[in-house]
Amino acid sequence: MDEKDFAELISVFLKGSELGKDAAGKEKGSTDDAFDPEASSNEAEVRKNIIEALAERIKESQEAEEVTVTALSEAATTAPEVEEELITKEEVDQLLSKEEPAEIVTLQQILHRFTALDGVIAALLVTRDGFIVDYASNIEFELDMVSAVVATGFGMLDKIGSELERGALSTGMLEYEEGTVVISPLVPDIALVIIASQWTTLGRIRWEIKKYGDELIANL
């Protein structure tokens, strides 16, 4: 039974009740009126239908409520439990204190630190065999010629130290009329070569070699 039919039954029921009251009043007020058994039967039938409809609606309402309660209960029992993840103070401190990864530095970038010094013309990494590992320069020059000459000088300086029992070469400084050449072995087979002008401060060059020597070796 839908809402419209139920409303009509209620309306008929209310009208039937009013008619019954009017009929009762008339019966008391006038004893001459005849009793209508058909009207009384119709009214009883309407009341019966109303009562059955009310009982049906109450039953449907109860069943719907039970279904809703059951569904909510099942949803509550089957819902996955979400575990709350809490971050500790130690983890926060670790995240805040985590250092950024160090920037990767190339050999040429380190060599450019030498050519940025006043009076330094070029900085090269040369092997004993005369090969250029890497270089940085403020002027253009023939790399093959420079590497060959430096390799020869490297060998000669080593031989001087060996003949004079002075040990292996640590730093060789060759001063010329137009400038200075500094040869500093980093590893047994590779040397850092600095070509500078005559007004360059040699002490500053030696300081920079000590400062960046380990970094150069780590990047070889």
Residues 55 and 49: their CA atoms lie apart, in Å, by 10
Residue 38 belongs to some domain of the structure: yes
Residue 102 in domain: no
Q: How many structural domains is the chain composed of? A: 2
The Cα-based distances of 93 to 27, 85, 89, 90, 98 in angstroms read 95, 17, 6, 5, 8
97 domain residue, yes or no:
no
pTM listed for this prediction: 0.53
Does 91 map to a domain? no
- Is residue 145 assigned to a domain? yes
Q: Longest C-alpha distance within the chain, in Å?
A: 160
C-alpha dihedral over 152, 157, 160, 165, to 10 degrees? -140
Residues 102, 121: Cα–Cα separation, whole Å? 29
**In a shared domain, residues 52 and 122:** no
Residues 39 and 142 in one domain: no
Asked whether residue 73 falls in the same domain as residue 138, the answer is: no
**pLDDT tens track, the chain, 220 positions:** 555 555 555 665 555 555 444 544 444 444 444 545 555 566 667 677 777 776 677 777 666 666 665 666 665 565 555 455 566 777 777 766 766 656 678 899 999 999 999 899 999 999 988 899 999 999 888 888 888 888 888 888 888 888 888 888 888 888 888 899 999 999 988 999 999 988 878 888 999 999 999 999 999 8
- Alpha-carbon gap, residue 146 to 165, rounded angstroms: 28
What range defines the domain where residue 186 resides?
Answer: 107-218
Tokens of 104: 């990767």
Tokens for 204, please give them: 């500053």
Q: Which of 37, 63, 78 is the last residue of a domain?
A: 78
Among candidates 149, 154, 147, which has minimal Cα distance to 188? 154
Phi, psi of 163 (to 5 degrees): -65, -35
In a domain, 101, yes or no: no
